[in-house]
């Protein structure tokens, strides 16, 4: 009976996938809606504004992923320590992660603000698109350290099992962002009409407010709260564990988005209409893989707890069930999106050519998103178990050595245009999904736990909650 109870509850919080995942889904949805709000409102300015922000966001996303080195690593380590009921150590690791991410975020902010001209000049942009991109990067990039803090705080709150609280904060941030967008982009309520600059300022203000609330929520939900001295206590052991997961995780993600940037570079040669079509198609596609992303994140929380509690069989079975749910939901949502693709694209633009190109590539999403739905669950599970390096090696082989050359062949040699990009990305998702499935089934990850065994007396104290 005791073992069965641990199966449903490890680390003091219920490990019900549905209860953990639906708030994560809504939180991700709200964050995506912030981007969609920018796209919809900026489309009222011009397609050039949408294209410019889309290009800059490609770099912003890469920088955010770099800053997730700490939050990704910390969430896995903290989850495993919570699963083993070592709450005081989990608290110290959380404090260390917040400090590390602040330092990293400030460095990234300085780099984006100081080198924006050099970065954007390499992307084949010109005229008004370049001017818009420069404005957006200077403002949003210069304050990206706020997002670094949000990332680590939200990740820790979810890891402690309080996914609903994190979702509520995301909702508030979204409401503030949309309201400020309306006022600042178009110049209502006595404010000047700022266009792209207004969208950027709105993003920074809403993130700053969200950071304050996230910090307060984390303080309230922790079983053992962080002491001030923990923020400036640097443990080499904890840092090594955080980075052992965080660096490979970030490298895999940065490699993926760096490849997306190369694909974006391919698209710039197809013309402004193709560039706008890509932005709109990717905005719509986000809502397809949103479900599998939420399931992957919820599953990772459970896997981390189970691994920390030494419940390896339960972790294995949970992941296999999650893959079935992820794939099934993705197919259902994708078919709905495909059926209503033309009305959806009409929300963004009235350009006949852009509508034609966007609806065409959305048809290929059934191939891309099914592979991604499998990949997201397995990769998140492997990281949560501590097996973070393998996805990096396989990702490089699949993304850099296979997907990029395939994309070049399809786009430029076979003249497939934008659909060629979608097919190349789909080939990568399916290849990595199959490889990660084999890795999980091999159960090599069972030897990668990050929580070292305690001495008998210390183990007894941890088990009693002291």
Question: Which residue stretches of 222-351 are H helix?
Answer: 236-268, 272-308, 312-339, 341-346
pLDDT per residue as tens digits for the range 105-124: 899 888 888 777 777 777 66
DSSP code at position 226: P
User: Closest by alpha carbon to 318, among 412, 204, 440, 414?
Assistant: 440
pLDDT per residue as tens digits for the range 307-343: 888 888 999 999 999 999 999 999 999 999 999 989 9
pLDDT at 403: 95
CA atoms within 13 A on the CB side of 15: 27
User: What are the DSSP calls for 392-435, one per residue?
Assistant: HHHHIIIIIIIIHHHHHIIIIIS---HHHHHHHHHHHHHHHHHH
Q: Which residue has the higher pLDDT, 25 or 218?
A: 218
pLDDT per residue as tens digits for the range 393-445: 999 999 999 999 999 999 999 989 899 999 999 999 999 999 999 999 999 98
Residues 366-387: what's their mean pLDDT?
91
What percentage of the chain has pLDDT greater than the value 70?
Answer: 91
Rounded CA-CA distance 245/248 in Å is 6
Residues 190-199: what's their mean pLDDT?
81
Residues 166-194: what's their mean pLDDT?
84
Q: Which residue has the higher pLDDT, 88 or 207?
A: 207
- What is the token pair recorded at 337? 């999106």
pLDDT at 146: 92
Residues 158-163: what's their mean pLDDT?
84
Residues 32-58: what's their mean pLDDT?
73
The answer, yes or no, to whether residue 10 has pLDDT greater than 70, is: no
pLDDT per residue as tens digits for the range 124-158: 666 777 878 888 888 888 888 998 999 899 989 98
């Amino acid at each position: 009976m005791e073992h069965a109870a641990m199966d449903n509850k490890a680390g003091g919080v219920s490990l019900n996938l549905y209860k953990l995942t639906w708030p994560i889904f809504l939180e991700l949805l709200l964050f995506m809606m912030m981007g969609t709000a920018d796209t919809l409102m900026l489309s009222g300015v011009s397609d050039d504004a949408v294209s410019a922000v889309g290009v800059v966001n490609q770099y912003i996303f890469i920088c955010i992923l770099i800053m997730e080195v700490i939050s990704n690593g910390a969430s896995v380590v903290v989850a495993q320590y919570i699963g083993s009921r070592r709450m005081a150590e989990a608290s110290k690791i959380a404090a260390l992660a917040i400090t590390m991410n602040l330092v990293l975020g400030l460095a990234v902010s300085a780099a984006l603000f100081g080198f924006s001209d050099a970065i954007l000049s390499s992307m084949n942009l010109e005229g008004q698109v370049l001017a818009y991109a420069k404005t957006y990067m200077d403002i949003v990039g210069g304050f990206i350290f706020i997002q670094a803090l949000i990332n680590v705080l939200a990740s820790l709150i979810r890891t402690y099992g309080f996914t609903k609280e994190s979702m509520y904060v995301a909702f508030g941030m979204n409401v503030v962002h949309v309201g400020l967008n309306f006022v600042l982009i178009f110049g209502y309520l006595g404010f000047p009409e700022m266009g792209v600059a207004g969208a950027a300022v709105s993003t920074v203000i809403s993130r700053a407010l969200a950071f304050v609330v996230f910090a307060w929520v984390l303080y309230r939900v922790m079983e053992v709260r962080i002491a001030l001295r923990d923020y400036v206590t640097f443990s080499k052991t904890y840092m090594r564990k955080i980075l052992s997961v965080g660096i490979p995780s970030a490298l895999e993600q940065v490699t993926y988005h760096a490849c997306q940037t190369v694909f974006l570079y391919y698209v710039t040669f197809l013309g402004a209409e193709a560039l706008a079509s890509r932005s709109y198609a990717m905005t719509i596609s986000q809502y397809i893989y949103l479900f599998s992303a939420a399931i992957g994140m919820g599953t990772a929380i459970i896997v981390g707890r189970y691994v920390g509690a030494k419940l390896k069989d339960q972790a294995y079975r949970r992941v296999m069930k999650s893959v079935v749910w992820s794939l099934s939901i993705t197919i259902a949502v994708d078919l709905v999106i495909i059926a209503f693709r033309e009305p959806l694209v009409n929300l963004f633009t009235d350009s006949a050519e852009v509508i034609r190109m966007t609806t065409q590539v959305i048809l290929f999403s059934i191939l891309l998103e099914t592979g991604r739905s499998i990949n997201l669950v397995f990769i998140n599970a492997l990281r949560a178990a501590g097996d973070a390096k393998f996805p990096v090696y396989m990702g490089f082989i699949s993304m850099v050595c296979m997907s990029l050359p395939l994309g070049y062949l399809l786009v430029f040699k076979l003249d497939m245009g934008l659909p060629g990009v979608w097919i190349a990305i789909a080939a990568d998702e399916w290849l990595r999904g199959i490889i990660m499935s084999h890795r999980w089934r091999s159960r090599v990850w069972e030897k990668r736990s990050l929580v070292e065994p305690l001495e008998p007396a210390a183990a007894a104290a941890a088990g009693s909650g002291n």
